Structure 1
Amino acid sequence: MADQRFDAVVVGAGAGGLCAAARLAHGGLRTLVVDDKMRLGGRASTEEIDGFKVNIGAIAIEFGGVFEETFNTVGASLNIRAPEPASSFLIDGKLVDVGRGGWSLLLGQLTKQASRILEKFADARSGNLPDGRQSTEDWLKGYTNNATVHALFRNLCAAIFACNAAELPARAFLTYFTSKGAFKRFGFCPQGTIGVWNALGTAIARNGEIWLGTPAVKIHTIDGRVDGVTVTRDGKQMRIDTEIVISNAGPKATVALAGEAAFPPDYVERVRHDLRPAANIVINIASREPLMVHPGIVTFGKTRRLCNMANLTATCPELAPPGWNLYVAYAVPVPALGDFDSDAEVELALADLREQFSSFDQARILSIRVMRDDWPAQRSCAGYDLPRETGIAGLWCVGDAVKEYGNGGTQACAETAKLVTDAILASRQKKQAVGI
């Protein structure tokens, strides 16, 4: 006999899980969210270090699209401030703002082959895309050997997808930049990224509950359908009956929770062999004197591992104590989709920072986080995502391992939540209409 019953249980309070829970609760389902951490946001949360609000992973929240639409739909406040300009590139010591000129402005300053590359972007917009086997690096080699252009594309792949250009399918890269929308407006939350998750949490609580510090230990199934979830709460195991479970823990952890025998064999094989977890290195930096004046995110040209850096306090001074500047830099190891030496890769990233900023050694490093293995930057690199359906009725996955092709970031996670919850709510309405 179950200890409690909910219409739906969401395992994992990351971006996809919270967006899904908020939509289900708004749609009338009494929804429970469980997470083993004591804060919302998962790999896109915030922690406090000596008075600094330091983001663990994602920082940039896009305006428009599914993410903002989720907040509007469920009546949650989205407190985001947009830097202006938002995106620039630091190439050979010169800042280039691409907010208005886009690819033509950027590439036109770097290579005589810019027109050929731009033609291929136009082809991609028309649906003429390379197959998924060719890497972005190999695709680009067909049009230019310019080292700066190759470095720039590598750092764009690293910044957006947490992988190298040699690891990302060109089809995924072009899909993102031609149909998913690049150089869109984005902003930072003055409470840290956790601020947006707390707002969603408030919306969920209107028709549900959130249990933090409560790991799921078992997903129950019977006759090919989901039947409930067992969690550990306050040191005791308790069973929750439900016919709907949405897992934001990733397909690998989801299979472990329900047991391989519960799933179709072909799904288990895909979980074992198709996922490509992507890694990155997150370096949070504080300084008394500004390291850079650009207020948004700067993507670098030629570097060893460093791909981009955000100036957070230029837009959100609340993130740091008075008199301090707060930055976060991202680097991607080589390889990002395989094993690497964490210490060596961190040193290469720090060498890049010293090279890019002459006063870096006077700055204070608040934290260095290597996101890999079971706590990766992406649970599967773009182009290697699994389906959201698991083969078990009522059990779905959301998040960054089941994205739509070529998408990335919190926007992609929110999209997975919308697709899953739309299907659940439509099925529920259909059953109610026929009296089931």
Structure 2
Amino acid sequence: MSQDIAMQSGAPASGKVESHGKVAPGEIALAVVIGRSSEFFDFFVYGIASVLVFPKLLFPYAEPLTATLYSFAIFSLAFIARPIGSVIFMTIGRIYGRGVKMTIALFMLGTSTAAMSFLPGYDSIGHAAAVLLAILRFFQGLALAGAWDGLASLLSLNAPAGRRGWYAMMPQLGAPFGFLLASSLFAFLVAYLEPADFLDWGWRYPFFAAFAVNVVALFARLRLVLSEAYSQQLETRELNPRPILELLHEQGPNVIIGAFAPLASFALFHVVTIFPLSWVTLFSELPAGQFLVIEMAGAVVGALAIVASGALADRIGRRRLIGVCACLIAVYSFIAPSMLGSGIAGDVAYMLIGFALLGLAFGQSSGALTSNFTSRNRYTGAALTSDLAWLIGAGFAPLVALVVATEFGLAWVGAYLLSGALCTLASLFLNRQLVLND
């Protein structure tokens, strides 16, 4: 997903930019939510298809578990591509401007996703079908890295005093909104189409829709990105890319600490979205469409929890809230394995509790330690820490969770979640020590 930069600047947050006018926080928030929702819609359309479609379409010769593992291996390619995409699109933005950068990124994202809808199966072109999907998935990752437009930063800078947590949670609402849209489309198609029709042509419609959603998001975001007030504020705040090697030389420890800070929520991210769908599909009699409805209910709870995180963060502090959530996720890691797959009641409890914790943690986790970077390193530092956090915490989560669950039992999925929570707590502790010793 796009990088979040939660600036903690002592400058006035009036939103005024000398004589160039102002950018209203409400207008920024709308563009941010639309943009993030479109990105996460693309993301979850692929994620759901990686469970319900690609194992059968691309790997019919393998037994279902192995085919799903192959599909999850391709799933991870987007996260591997993100750091590379940040470097490429920072260069494009520096040479040709932010508008060109974002237009190319969103067009690449929408085109890659839409192109998947025309993907032939193994029966048509053999292993080349999986290769084509892998290429398109890699392009998705490159595009996601380039799609960040700085609107989340601008939203934070325009936040009234004492309301930074509230404004920081707004971009994160794109995740549950995108998931709700993607899962509702697939739930409808799975419920009303025959399995053969769904696998033949029905699954392709959500991928077609992704391109249309990206066009709407593109215009909503370009309207602000190309405004003079927006550009002036980015220049004033020194939100310009820097060479990554220089950043690592100057503030390498902050990159590492920042990358590990959100791992509790990022590990939980796929353990309550993509992984449980695969587990239920492979090892239970519950129809996929029915489980998607349960996940949609969880996403609603997650959205409400994200909103609650904004109010809580402004009351107790963003970093303290992240630490509390990491502890709660650690507790959840011990009870979650006993709920998943234990029946409807257990599945519902797993999803609702998991999404509630995810919303509280995810609502504030991204960019929480960005203020550690100097002004000139904020743009590149925030991009790189976000890329690494998604790669380490979420990129391989469905694959790892499914492997350990099938080999050693669901309790090991809890151990995986616990490791993410411990990484977050360790990161917050080390960050505090750096601040005290600075």
Q: Could you say which TM-score interval applies, normalised by the shorter chain?
A: under 0.3
Q: Which has the higher helix share?
A: 2
Greater strand percent: which structure? 1
TM-score, length of structure 1 as denominator length: 0.24
The structure with more radius of gyration: 1
